Amino acid sequence: MDSDKDQFSGIPMFRKSMFRSHELIPKNHIVIERNTVGRDWITFHLVVCLLLFAAIQMYYGKRFHQIIKAFGGMRYTNILSKEGNLFRERISIPLFIIYLISFSLLIYLIIAGDSEPTVMNLSGLKFFSIIVLGVLLTWFIKNLALNFIGVLFKNQLILSDYMHINFIFNMVTGIILLPFVIFSVYSSVSYLVYAAVVVWLLIYFYRFVRELFTGLSYTNFSLFSRILYLCTFEIIPFLVVTKLIMSYLN
């Protein structure tokens, strides 16, 4: 008997193997560069947010819990304002930075998705910087206009209450959106971005109701004036931003 052949099949043993080659058939032999979107800059911004949030919990934990309570009820908002000017406190800086990054990243993810958007020849970090600048300018112009209206119509006290509520809601919104943004960036689940948008819309509607009924004891600031203010500074900017995003997506 030939020792180099299988005794059953008669096929030389060196031709038989337990491994099989792949059955993929290449369509072409041209090397195609893999298109990957580098988003290390997003990781850097998220790490900054997490470090700031850890610092808030460590150094300003009590004040932060008061802000969370003020987000939930008007009575706690009055207590918070009586204990100090929130605009001038140190805790406001890291909270506002978290809001600025979280909200801007949410807008970026809505526009970008899994791709790399290019607007005005800007993409990636440069495009994100434009979004941050737009959010910051919108916030600054809105507060500047509120101060002007307060002085013009001698309702600076009630409008300062509106600014206070807006600031509280912005800071808490940034904290709430942060985990949604993190999971949206590092997860393949696409609906997390839309879930974040739904959460933001609910918070926005809740703030709208809170601002509508703010200052009911102020007789010189009628319900019509409050509705006019909300339409001018809340609804119209929201519709404009939504229109810009939808026009880009289409």
- What's the mean pLDDT when you consider all of the chain? 77
CA atoms within 13 A on the CB side of 171: 28
pLDDT value of position 30: 65
pLDDT digits (tens, 9 = 90+) for 38-83: 678 889 999 999 999 999 999 988 899 989 988 887 778 877 877 7
181 pLDDT band, cuts 50/70/90, is: very high
pLDDT value of position 35: 47
pLDDT value of position 113: 65
pLDDT digits (tens, 9 = 90+) for 193-237: 889 999 999 998 888 888 777 655 555 556 666 666 666 666 776
d(CA 64, CA 70): 10
61-72 helix and 40-59 helix, angle to the nearest 10 degrees: 100
- Domain coordinates of the chain in residue numbers? 40-249
**DSSP 3-state of 123:** strand
Apex CA 72: angle with CA 71 and CA 74, to 5°? 85
d(CA 135, CA 244): 13
pLDDT digits (tens, 9 = 90+) for 120-169: 556 678 888 888 998 899 888 887 877 777 676 666 666 677 788 888 99
Q: Biggest alpha carbon distance in the chain?
A: 113
pLDDT value of position 86: 83
- Report which secondary-structure segment, H or E, holds 119: strand 118-119
pLDDT for residue 11 is more than 60: no
Contact 139, 159 (CB under 8 A): no
